[in-house]
Structure 1
Amino acid sequence: MARNISLNFRVVEGRDLPAKDVSGNSDPYCIVKVDHEVVARTATVWRNLNPFWGEEFTLHLPLDFHHLAFYVLDEDTIGHDDIIGKISLSKETIAAASPRGIDSWLNLSHVDPDEEVQGEIHLDVKLWTEAQGPRLRCHIIEARDLAPRDLSGTSDPFARIFWGSQSLDTVTIKKTRFPHWDEVLELHGEEGPLRVEVWDWDMVGKNDFLGMVEFPPDVLLQCPPSGWFRLLPFASAEEDAGGKLGALRLKVRLAEERILPSVYYQPLIDLLVESVLSPAQDDTVTPLAMLDEVSSGESRQDIATQLVKIFLGRGLAVPLLDYLNLREVSRTNEETKADRSGLAVVGRTHLRQDLDLGVLGYKSSSHVTQGFSKLAWCEQSVGAGPGQVRTSIPVCRICAVERVDENAFQQPHMMQVITKNRDGQLDTMYIQCKNVNELNQWLSAIRKASVCNEGMLPSCHPGAFRGNRWTCCLQQDRTVQGCSRTHSAVTLGDWSDPLDPDTEAQMVYQQLLLGRDKLRKKYIEFSEEKIKLEQEVMKGQSCLEEERSGVPEQERPPTATAAAHLLAVLEDLEQAHKTFEQQEKEQVARGSLHS
């Protein structure tokens, strides 16, 4: 069983932004970051202090993400873009607004460089008592993904530890965001919290803060820290600028779902597939048609999207398209024709877009609905001048797909695909994308296509091996283990990615839950035993028991049978969720007892 977090956000518009150009205007755009990783960029609205974007994105996120940030910048054709301000939302803030989410104007805040920290530090700390008093040993091993503070896109990091009134520094490692110190610093004779800070050394001016982590005395004594720790900014209350920097209207909604093993969704998927492969003479009696009827108007877009993914993933895109076309043709009266905003039109539109355009621009060696066995594209080769290289990579050989640091080739929006060749050796292909949105689409699609591959790498180098060393961690061994962990769960949610049927089936289940009362009503209306059902409901028996056992299936009208099947599937899925939820609570309780 897995958990899925979907984050939907819409950058609607801005107002009263400050002028950054001599013309008295700005050219604003937004970038969106999740835990300091850029996940989306809006278009630039030229010469406008009250821009309208109206751009919407959906992300699938790991459970341990911390915050979402929106930055407004002024695009400049010469030099660096000016930062206007930002809005930062913690996971807790977004979750507290569920299920409706956030939909409001929020004032922009100043961007404090000391709060723009990122990355992790690897530590091994020990504390023991000697005759002379307590002694602390802090092994500072390495750090990764530090914020770039220099124009070169790197930093010159060193670490500093504080314990009581004492402090010690590591050496400074030049031009890297992935320093490897492997230094042991020892202090003795005092007690108190341990604070480890990371700084960027500057020859001129003050050093730049890169982040810190702090451990209280009880943690040092009871559970000495050992492992990777997320770097944090100095504690400060972030305040907006009181409207002086303008405001953004944002819509943000977080949905967390428990995804059951595939076997639990199979009865629901079978019902939907049967509706398409063995359609009834009366279009209104299939479970798929009933799903359409009991769904609210605003949810039909989502349901159509989810159904398209499910049928694409099973190789049934063409039968679904035929079914939707026949369903629409069979509606002959004007009242029904007016209701063409349902699943038929939306689903057919999505299917045609997918079948005509492919998925995110890459092609499979077989039909698009049969899954992806090979990625093929024609890209500018890094360092190859104006020439282009056509490349084909079997998906089964992919070991990692990651971003590339901009300073590796002095080029933005680059990614790397690491594969294992027939001899077991690792090969790396570097690809430059047009913009950050295209980059994220490729990362999302390839990560999902290769998520079940054997031999996926836990780490890689975000730089390149040039000049006999890695540009990221500066190590001179080409085969040394990667200095940054790889990613697999952070993906853009795109309707044209049919590779997660369990998640889509869970979404359909949620929509059916919302329409369960309508489904029950339809069952009662069409049942030959309506009076009997009403009498037993009055006696206190649950309607659902009657739905499953009261009326022989062969005597029910087809509509009642379809409704009964859907209600039975709903009950089974609901019970499975309750069982897994109880198991999770018991595991948490056992963990608390052990700790």
Structure 2
Amino acid sequence: MRRYKGRFTCRYQFWLMEISHESFAAKCWRRDLAKKDRNGASDPFVRVRYNGKTYESAVVKKSCYPRWNESFEFELDGTLADSLLSVEVWDWDLVSRNDFLGKVLFNINKLRSAQQEEGWFRLGPDKSKHREYEGNLGSLRLQLRLRDEVVLPSSHYKPLTELLSQSVSSQLDSNWPDLIMLIDETTTAESRQEVANNLVKLFLSQGLVKEFLDVLFKLELEKTPEPNTLFRSNSLASKSMESFLKVAGMQYLHRLLGPIINRIFEEKKYVELDPSKVELKDAGCAGLHRQQTESDVIQQSSSLLQSYLSELLTSILQSASYCPLLICQAFHQLHHRVQERFPDTEYRKVKFIAVTSFLCLRFISPAIMSPKLFHLREKHADARTSRTLLLLAKAVQTIGNMDTLACCSKEPWMVRLQPAIQQGITQLKDFIMKLVSCHESEDFGLQTRMRLQCGTMEKEGFLFLHRTKDKCIPMTSPFKKYYVMLSKDTLSYSRTQHYKKSSSISLLKIRAIEKVEEKCFGSANVMQIISSEDSGQQETLYLNCKSVNELNHWLSALRKACSHNTNAMSCYHPGIYKADRWSCCHQKEETDPGCDKTRHGVTLQEWYDPLDPDLEAQLIYQHLSSVQHAMRDKYYKLRELQGAQETDSITDQKKVDGLTKLFSILQDLHDAHAAVEEEERLKNKNVFLELQT
């Protein structure tokens, strides 16, 4: 038995609710944020802090009533008494320092008894501010939920996992994939994303995610008479495919978008096509003696956007060769099912739009608009870069919709990009045809499988490196350029790529791979590799990467290569040992235990990363237990609807038996959990009696 204790989620919103006059009178505090900018609004974002970890939301521009609808998950530290979760709201500024707008503090120990807190919370001032500001800073709508998961041994989940596996592997040729259909019909909109994530990960661990997605495709197509609305709702099929792409294609996305995103961030060009939003003072001068006109700005912006779009489309076309095989197969199934459902000539574009609705609208475009949320950049974009990214994402969405007229009718100023967009639609169709036919090539399949099985652990390139054996870090930069190579068994490095002399570390001796605090070396892209020699002496190797994208790829590759090491450290120092103390926790002994927990999971969540099927099965069990009565009612309603039709009594009996088996499995798991709870209760009672004695 394993206990996942104190995994809590902070979900936050901030908006002006539509409420009645009576309830408004009961809640008399203001819900609007302070206005910090000259335009009479703010550019707010949320910063959440707990136990040394900090997460930030996206920035909502020019709003005192923003909506984030984001959530972050923290791991609760049971050793901290009266620990606090701080939710702060800040006004983002491009030039000056960010302005503090207020905060809410939560005592996590109190949350243990309540399990959940939800509602409007007044933003309070910083301690340094006078209390007269309290109550005048607006309010934040939050939902905090504490989850205490008890994961039983694998044998308890085997019947549930087998039943779910049978429901997708044996129902592909049937018109009634009963169990998955019932899950689809009874899952609420609030829990759909979480259920989709759990099911995708469980079927990935069973090697049946293609079959699972195919069943969902069939279900969605059967209840969608109008092809124009296909996969546009937040159904279980849409959420599952979206989750699958994020889990299976994160490294693919980084390779695809990394260069163009970095270029846009580095160039910081002023780009604007909408005449009503052109700011000539921001655009700069056209020459030494002439201020740019609005027409100059729009023409220059159009050229820049076409350049960015051309580079991105070229990258997309080339990506068919390295797109993960599993994603190619999923898109092939989707393309094939849509073509079967809508075979008429007038719907010939629908099979392409079905693919682009996920690839472009739910995967590539969101990553372009918010690169930080997809780990493409370490910080949010400034206002100028953010606008460029938004315009590029709009162009990609238009190409994904394969309809230039609809976009140009709503936003006429996009017409300047119409030729580039039309060319992009043709290129995207060619790319999709390559993508959905990739799995048919035996050579491609073999190469991809080899790349997925062993190639992901092979990585090489120039990095700046520093190696220490119980040495202090010098004041000057200790890093030197080396060619680093990660193979199946070792991490080696030498002065040049073909240098005869090289040093190496056995992967089996690596105990931790972690990031280093930015203040240590003045760079946020430094990682440390902690290993042990045969003598027991500990050694640390520091690697300085060029960008956060490169850092994430090295972390991912190294952690994957060392995922089965048995001597992994449970804690580490995120700082360095310098001036007779650790920079992170100020402990004076170099051998003192680390002050932060190690993270042995990989950074880029790919489908072939180590999964935890028992935890996913536990979460699915919880969901099915909560909706089992609704599933039973839904099943009998569906039977009544089919009563007028001729049914196969043998097939119908199998469905009843399957449903009965599911409820029996859920009851067995409930009994097993009850036995564990009773055992813990008796154990705690015995401890109490011993203390009394």
Shift of 1:557: 1.3
* 1:582 corresponds to which of 669, 674, 678: 678
1:347 equivalent in alignment to 2:210:
no
Shift of 1:564: 1.1
SS at match of 1:284: coil
Trace 1:421-432 onto structure 2 (pairs within 5 A): 426-430=539-543
- Structure 1 pair 429–249 and aligned structure 2 pair: CA distance change class (3 A): same
Shift of 1:69: 0.9
Residues 100-133 of structure 1: CA deviation (Å, up to 9, x unaligned): x4132x222233389xxxxxxxxxxxxxxxxxxx
Amino acid corresponding to residue 428 of structure 1 in structure 2: L
Output the aligned Cα RMSD: 5.0
Shift of 1:271: 0.9
- Structure 1 pair 443–344 and aligned structure 2 pair: CA distance change class (3 A): same
1:512 equivalent in alignment to 2:624:
yes
Residues 517-548 of structure 1: CA deviation (Å, up to 9, x unaligned): 134446767999xxxxxxxxxxxxxxxxxxxx
Residues 78-102 of structure 1: CA deviation (Å, up to 9, x unaligned): 6754544321111244445545x41
1:248 equivalent in alignment to 2:140:
yes
1:325 equivalent in alignment to 2:419:
no
Distance 2:96 2:34 in 1: 19
- The answer on whether the counterparts of 1:303 and 1:508 sit within 8 Å (CA) in structure 2 is yes
1:374 equivalent in alignment to 2:375:
no
Seq. identity, %:
29
Shift of 1:403: 4.6
SS at match of 2:136: coil
- The answer on whether the counterparts of 2:85 and 2:106 sit within 8 Å (CA) in structure 1 is yes
User: 1:231 maps to which residue?
Assistant: none
More helix, by proportion = 2
* 2:119 corresponds to which of 103, 108, 122: 103
Q: Gaps spanning 5+ residues in structure 1: where? A: 115-237, 529-552
- The answer on whether the counterparts of 1:59 and 1:493 sit within 8 Å (CA) in structure 2 is no
Shift of 1:269: 0.8
Amino acid corresponding to residue 597 of structure 2 in structure 1: T
1:6 equivalent in alignment to 2:100:
no
Amino acid corresponding to residue 29 of structure 1 in structure 2: F
- Structure 1 pair 587–307 and aligned structure 2 pair: CA distance change class (3 A): same
Amino acid corresponding to residue 46 of structure 2 in structure 1: C
Shift of 1:265: 0.9
User: 1:538 maps to which residue?
Assistant: none
Shift of 1:480: 3.4
Distance 2:149 2:162 in 1: 22
1:392 equivalent in alignment to 2:486:
yes
- Structure 1 pair 338–345 and aligned structure 2 pair: CA distance change class (3 A): closer
Residues 107-161 of structure 1: CA deviation (Å, up to 9, x unaligned): 22233389xxxxxxxxxxxxxxxxxxxxxxxxxxxxxxxxxxxxxxxxxxxxxxx
1:68 equivalent in alignment to 2:179:
no
Distance 1:521 1:22 in 2: 57
Trace 1:410-489 onto structure 2 (pairs within 5 A): 410-412=522-524, 415-419=527-531, 426-430=539-543, 453-465=565-577, 471-472=583-584, 480-488=591-599
Distance 1:310 1:369 in 2: 19
Amino acid corresponding to residue 103 of structure 1 in structure 2: G
Trace 1:226-305 onto structure 2 (pairs within 5 A): 241-279=133-171, 281-305=173-197
SS at match of 1:463: coil
User: 1:88 maps to which residue?
Assistant: 105
- Structure 1 pair 384–449 and aligned structure 2 pair: CA distance change class (3 A): same
- The answer on whether the counterparts of 1:523 and 1:564 sit within 8 Å (CA) in structure 2 is no
Amino acid corresponding to residue 514 of structure 1 in structure 2: S
- Structure 1 pair 380–20 and aligned structure 2 pair: CA distance change class (3 A): farther
SS at match of 2:191: helix
Shift of 1:418: 3.0
Residues 426-484 of structure 1: CA deviation (Å, up to 9, x unaligned): 4434456978x99999989988996764112244332235689754577898x734452
Distance 2:574 2:138 in 1: 36
Q: How many positions carry a matched residue from both structures? A: 443
Amino acid corresponding to residue 591 of structure 2 in structure 1: V
Residues 249-295 of structure 1: CA deviation (Å, up to 9, x unaligned): 32322232222122211111111112222226434254333332343
Shift of 1:512: 0.9
- The answer on whether the counterparts of 2:104 and 2:122 sit within 8 Å (CA) in structure 1 is yes
Larger RCO (alpha carbons 8 Å, 6+ apart): 1
Shift of 1:373: 7.4
Q: TM-score, length-normalised on structure 1?
A: 0.59
- Structure 1 pair 414–560 and aligned structure 2 pair: CA distance change class (3 A): same
Amino acid corresponding to residue 266 of structure 1 in structure 2: K
User: 2:45 maps to which residue?
Assistant: 29
- Structure 1 pair 251–326 and aligned structure 2 pair: CA distance change class (3 A): same
1:42 equivalent in alignment to 2:136:
no
Distance 1:443 1:88 in 2: 33
1:502 equivalent in alignment to 2:610:
no
Residues 330-363 of structure 1: CA deviation (Å, up to 9, x unaligned): 5576799899754333223332444444489599
Amino acid corresponding to residue 270 of structure 1 in structure 2: E
> Greater CA deviation, 389-398 or 304-313?
389-398
Q: TM-score, length-normalised on structure 2?
A: 0.52
